[in-house]
Amino acid sequence: MSTNTVPSHQKAILTFNVFFKEDTTTQSFLPSIVSKDPENWALFRNVMAGQKDCKLTIVDKSIETPFHCLLVALFCKQLEDELQTSFEKITMILSPLHKERSCGINTANMPFDSTEHRNDYLQECFAKVSYKKVKIATKRNPILCRDIKITSGDYILYLRFEGGVANGWQVDDAYVARFSPHELLSFASCNLKCRNIFTHGYSQNGVFINVDFLTKL
């Protein structure tokens, strides 16, 4: 969202882009992003720290594997830690799985067999990582936007990951990659290596993130 597309009832405070091309770890996922623009994140923290009305909404089409679910749960917890707040409510609006299949063996980097199993496991990840229950809605119509929206009082923070927050991410450990969803969850507190296929692919474009910080008029 550029300043000329901001709704008339909102005012842009800050807009910037992040190019995230390096490998990282599950515990350093958000810190790796913050480290590129620490002064901007200090501003977000100053506004939202300690606020009781912070809400998080994620609209996404990229969450398909057990590792995606765990990474997103960890990312949301890292957002709370970075902004020094606790989300009063977390809502996720997700696409159904691109392709469902008959039940079978499921490993960390393999898409779930059904949308229902994906959603159930995502709840388990949030319960394990942050002791929270999230509201998950599955939108059958195509999801075009990839918004992470944090609201607090008159302020709105948008993070837009090209393709979605989990797009292209895999656990980069052959041993862990063979884990079942249950086994992976037991490693939630470990610092697992992860890589993005778009960084290591032919284009080597990595991950593009657009950040908008707005205030209501």
Q: Is the pLDDT of residue 201 over 70?
A: no
Reduce the DSSP state of residue 131 to 3 states and report it: coil
Q: Which fold has domain 13-216?
A: Endonuclease; Chain A (3.30.870)
Please tell me the predicted confidence (pLDDT) of residue 160: 95
In the chain, the largest separation of any two C-alpha atoms, in whole Å, equals: 52
Q: Is the pLDDT of residue 144 over 70?
A: no
Please tell me the predicted confidence (pLDDT) of residue 123: 98
Global pTM reads 0.92
Please write the tens of the pLDDT for every residue from 13-36. Answer: 999 999 988 899 999 999 999 999
The confidence band for 98, taking pLDDT boundaries of 50, 70 and 90, is confident
